[in-house]
């Protein structure tokens, strides 16, 4: 008969109880809190979009629009590259956009630009000094030409109309008693190109 194995009272070891650390459960947001959180997130995104759009479009400086008073430098050339006018080494040109102080194509060409920007503006004759008109040729009595004026083909002279208007005329031909005058603008019928640099926009 097998002997029962003796065990000493109190000698049996028991496994120590493991200590479990409870992690507090996350509190769920109430509907009101969740709505506020979403609202703030959307507002943040909205502001970021505005700032980015502002930077991409170019939010610094006034954009030229009708009524703007601007200063700019320009160089005007004909189709063959001949320079007919320029503000280089002069004071910049100043005018109010849309007030009829410059030719229509020039007015339209600067819209949307800002100070510091440059642009090439191509203007057809119809939006510059108009098409050449043969009807604006006429004879003028020599006796009415100022005595101190030298008569020669290509010379310019000013004519005053009865209503006080003034027109610039070019002598095209000299005859015995009259001179043939051209009242068309010297640049009539020509397409023009302007290189412009905006200096100031108000």
pLDDT tens-place values along the chain, 202 residues long: 444 454 445 445 555 555 555 545 555 555 555 555 455 555 555 444 444 444 444 445 799 999 999 999 999 999 999 999 999 999 999 999 999 999 999 999 999 999 999 999 999 999 999 999 999 999 999 998 888 888 999 999 988 878 888 889 999 999 999 999 999 999 999 999 999 999 999 9
- Decide if 69-129+189-201 and 134-182 have a common fold: no
pLDDT at 25 (0 to 100):
53
DSSP code string of the chain: -PPPPP--TT----PPPPPPPPPPPPPPPPHHHHHHHHHHHHHHHHHHHHHHHHHHHT-SSPBP-TT-EEEEEEEEE-TT--EEEE-TTSPPEEEETTTTSS-HHHHHHTTT-BTT-EEEEEE-GGGTT----GGGEEEEEGGGS-TTSPP-TT-EEEEE-TTS-EEEEEEEEE-SSEEEEE-S-TTTT--EEEEEEEEEE-
Please provide residue 26's backbone torsions phi and psi, each rounded to the nearest 5 degrees.
-70, 135
pLDDT at 110 (0 to 100):
98
Domain boundaries, the chain: 29-60, 69-129+189-201, 134-182
CATH number listed for the domain at residues 69-129+189-201: 3.10.50.40
CATH number listed for the domain at residues 134-182: 2.40.10.330
Rounded to an integer, what distance in angstroms lies between the CA atom of residue 14 and that of residue 152? 130
């Amino acid at each position: 008969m097998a002997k029962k194995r003796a065990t000493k009272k109190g000698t049996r070891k028991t496994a120590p109880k493991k200590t479990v650390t409870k992690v507090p459960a996350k509190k769920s947001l109430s509907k009101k809190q969740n709505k506020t959180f979403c609202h703030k997130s959307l507002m943040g995104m909205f502001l970021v979009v505005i700032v980015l759009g502002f930077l991409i479009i170019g939010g610094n400086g006034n954009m030229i629009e009708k009524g703007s008073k601007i200063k700019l430098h320009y160089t005007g050339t004909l189709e063959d590259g001949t320079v007919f006018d320029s503000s280089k080494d002069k004071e910049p040109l100043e005018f109010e956009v849309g007030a009829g102080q410059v030719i229509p194509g020039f007015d339209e060409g600067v819209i949307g630009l800002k100070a510091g920007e440059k642009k090439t503006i191509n203007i057809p004759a119809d939006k510059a000094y108009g098409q050449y008109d043969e009807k604006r040729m006429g004879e003028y009595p020599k006796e009415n030409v100022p005595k101190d004026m030298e008569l020669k083909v290509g010379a310019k002279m000013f004519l005053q109309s009865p209503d006080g208007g003034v027109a610039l005329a070019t002598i095209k031909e000299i005859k015995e008693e009259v001179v043939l005058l051209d009242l068309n603008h010297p640049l009539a019928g020509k397409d023009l190109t302007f290189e412009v640099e905006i200096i100031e926009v108000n």
